[in-house]
Structure 1
Amino acid sequence: VLGVAGLLLPLASSATIIASPMDQRQFQDMALPNGLRVVLISDSETDKAAVSLDVQVGSGSDPEDRAGLAHFLEHMLFLGTEAYPEAGEYQGFITRHGGSENAYTSYAHTNYYFDIDADYLEGALDRFAGFFTSPLFNPEFVERERAVVHSEYTSGLKKDGRRIRAVRQLAFDRRHPRSGFAVGSLQTLADRPGDLVRQDLLGFYRRFYTAPNMTLVVLGREDLEVLENWVVTRFADLPAGGESPGGEVPGLYGENKLPLQQKVVPIAEMRYGLFTFPLPARIAHYREKPLAYLGHLLGHEGPGSLLSVLKAQGWAEALSAGTGMSNDNESTFEISISLTAAGLGA
């Protein structure tokens, strides 16, 4: 790896990371000139190194005529880069050195991560960085990965969790990004006359996969200076432009939609009630965590608690409460009650 000490000078440093007095690891918070936010963690005693890169864009930014595009991009990104063109090379390197890797697409974020034997962090980071600086999006894999995504969609049709989520979405405001179909299918990702899905994928990547939309965390046993050098040499070429996802988002539920009762007949044997309360965004109160307090009070299982009363009636077996959905625009508070047969009919 070439040293680029000259590139280290313009890095911006953010506020000092506050760590526990018992935490002996070293931390560094910085930003590259292209806008990439980075947190470095040096742990001289760790056996495992780990990396996570979060892109602040997800299924909520799918084009209206390309449901599942963000998820499809997550799949296609892993299939070769300019430096490592062979599909599966990254996964093989991680596996050979005692690690694991994965990724997920949510409403507002797509996250890529891995862990590996601490001695092999640099090689893994070198392969990982290429997904964001020089991916190939090889056309020969489009059909295969489209089928993989479709299989993921069809396999979920008989999963109660996926079915319940789909029913809940029916109540959402149709203009809200959460109301969309996030997984993707052969139909939504199909090539159309004059509109190949790979071209739409490349357009989405160029719009949103830019440094200002990304946050990188690297943990290794090397000292902070070495970790910083490794990051700068590999991520300085990330484009600094692009587009930030966002814009005005309507409320989760449309006007006059609430109160609402929905009923789902499950495939597996299960009985529970889920009570959802839409709320403003909780981000501004992250230090105070009011929903955590509320969840603790309602989730209490001792004498006089809500659960104890329901159990005394023979209606419930368990209860949990806490934050449900949460993003920059809104949140929900949810109470889930595992019901007995008598409780279901009460």
Structure 2
Amino acid sequence: MTKSWNKRNSNDYRSYRSVTLENGLSVLLIRDPEIAQSVAALSVSAGSFFDPPSIQGLAHLIEHVLFRGSKAFPQLDELNDYVSFNGGGEVNAHTELDHTTFSFALNSVKSEHLSGALERFAHQFIDPLMDKETLGREIITLESEFVNCKHTDAERLDQLMAHTSKAGHIFNRFTWGNKKSLSQVSLDELGEAAVKFFNDHYQASSMKLVVLGNEHCDTLERLVSQHFTLIHNGEGLKREIPMITQPWDPKMYTLESVQSNENVVITWMLPRNNQKMPETYLLRLLSNESEGSLCSFLKGKGWITSLNVDVGPVSGFSGIKSSSSYSSTYGSQLFRVDFEVTKEGLKQKYSLVHHLYQYINLLRGKIMDEYMEEYGDLQRMKFQSLYIDQKLISSFLQFAESLAGLFFNLISI
């Protein structure tokens, strides 16, 4: 099935086409005649939530392993080397709770270079090398990453959220993975589990692919069809999608900073509405720093130096940036208000939270209704000017990654 999109933005010079391959892979093709790169991102709806309880970190491990080589291209780091030798660029991947995203950006717009990169990229999902040697090597890499990241406050806060969630809740797990968590079984058993995880979850029907280049969509579609139709389609597999309930009881925790940060963070679990996204209105109002705002009031009291609000899902268009890997998944999302506080503000943390709830109550009713209308007008104006300048997209790699991830949240393309 092929479908070209009618542009809703008169300033958008790009062409768009959605394609569903014979194996069920959903593809979004974007032609940008002014781009100087060729970019692709593929998301698969399998992340750390699907780790076996006895092998926590398996999804993250597989993310690493898939980049190391395939039966068709067995050389170590073949895709990365190909990108480096054909104009340079970037290769990236990241594991979330409910999906994993792989991507590359090639500093070349030659069709043969894009074809070669797509071929190597596709074979990561067709016939990856998952031997014991590769698994063992990547466990060491994960251990190194874990040692480095555990000394950052953001990662420590994420893990606090995991450990303090209710027993048996799907959040109550160690998603990163390290040598200890991945050595609970033998290397042979780990290999069997990795192959099973890949076969169960890495199917074409569970994947979303975005390709961005300056070739015509006909050419992009031909290249995608040529290289990605061999991905296993996994017909008949039924996966249980976990329902997300409230992970925590109302409590306050104190986390000792390793980076000399002083913050008061309040987090709520909210339902997610991908069409109306009502939480964005609250985010904008709470983030407001003008006179009369919560931020202005608390700064005036000398309690805070900044106020940051974030909510999932992450969007390359909305400007919303989520700081937590737990931000958005399966119909739920975390809404977080983060106060960077002064010494006095830390002493007044209970009063600070009280003022936050007072402000939220103040926003109910007429004030919110008036703001929603004004905000809607501003967003429509912003949308009409969104694509005038390429500089509005700081990274085409991140742009493609965002689209591939958001693909799962869209009702229809």
Contact 2:126-2:230 within 8 A present in 1 as well: yes
Q: Which residue of 2 aligns with 1:294?
A: 282
CA distance, structure 2, for counterparts of residue 336 and residue 129 of structure 1 = 40
Aligned to 1:166: 159
* Residue 16, structure 1, aligned to residue 5, structure 2: yes
- In the TM superposition, what is the alpha-carbon distance from 1:292 to its structure 2 partner? 1.1
Does the alignment pair 1:269 with 2:260?
A: yes
Question: SS at the partner of 1:118?
Answer: coil
Contact 2:61–2:142 (8 Å) recurs in 1:
yes
Over 3 Å counting, the alpha-carbon distance change for 1:18 and 1:63 in structure 2 is farther
**Residues 32-85 of structure 1, C-alpha deviations (whole Å, 9 max, x = no match):** 121100011122332111000000110011011110000000011111112211
Partner of 1:52: 41
Out of 87, 101, 106, the position equivalent to 2:76 is 87
Contact 2:304-2:339 at 8 Å conserved across structures: yes
Which residue of the partner structure matches residue 9 of structure 1? none
Structure 1 length-normalised TM: 0.90
2:131 is matched with 138
After superposition, give the CA deviation of every residue in 1:183-215 in whole Å (9 maximum; x if it has no partner): 112222227359521111000000000011000
* Separation of aligned partners in 1, 2:130 and 2:278: 44
* Structure 2 residue aligned with 1:318: 306
Residues 61 and 177 of structure 1 are in contact (CA less than 8 Å); yes or no, is this contact kept in structure 2? Answer: no
Change (3 A) 1:333 1:200: same
Aligned structure 1 segments of 4 or more residues deviating by more than 4 angstroms: none
**1:158 and 1:306 mapped to 2: Cα distance?**
32
* Shift in alpha-carbon separation, 1:90–1:15, aligned structure 2, 3 A: closer
The answer to whether the Cα contact below 8 Å between 1:122 and 1:230 also exists between their aligned partners in 2 is: yes
Q: Distance in 1 between matches of 2:34 and 2:261?
A: 45
- Distance change (3 Å), C-alpha of 1:172 and 1:150: same
- Cross-structure match for 2:247: 253
Structure 1: segments with no counterpart, 5+ residues: 1-11
Supply the distance in 1 between the matched residues of 2:6 and 2:341 (Cα, whole angstroms). 44
Name the SS of the counterpart of 1:222 in structure 2: coil
Matched, 1:199 2:201: no
Q: CA RMSD in A?
A: 1.8
**Distance verdict in 2 for CA 1:306–1:90, change over 3 Å:** same
**Alignment-derived partner of residue 113 in structure 1:** 103
Alpha-carbon distance in 1 for matches of 2:226, 2:28? 16
Q: Deviations over 1:261-291 (max 9, x none)?
A: 11111012111111112211233xx3x3211
Q: Provide the rounded CA distance (Å) in 2 between the counterparts of 1:178 and 1:310.
A: 33
What is the identity, as a one-letter code, of the residue corresponding to 1:201? Answer: A
2:317 match: none
2:389 equivalent in structure 1: none
Q: Secondary structure of the residue that 2:182 maps to in structure 1?
A: coil
Aligned partner of residue 135 in structure 2, secondary structure: helix
What does 1:37-76 correspond to in 2, within 5 Å?
Answer: 37-76=26-65
Q: Is the 8 A contact 1:27 1:42 kept in 2?
A: yes
Secondary structure of 1:277's partner?
strand
- In structure 2, the residue matched to 1:340 is 342
TM-score (norm 2): 0.76
Equivalent-residue separation in structure 2 for 1:274 and 1:213 (angstroms): 35
Q: What is the deviation of 1:107?
A: 0.4
AA partner of residue 264 (structure 1): L
Q: Which runs of 5+ in 2 are unaligned?
A: 313-326, 349-413
Tell me which residue corresponds to 1:99. 89
Displacement of 1:317 in angstroms is 0.8
Q: Bigger CA drift: 317-326 or 196-205?
A: 317-326
Distance 1:191 1:306, change over 3 A: closer
Number of residue pairs the alignment of both structures matches: 329
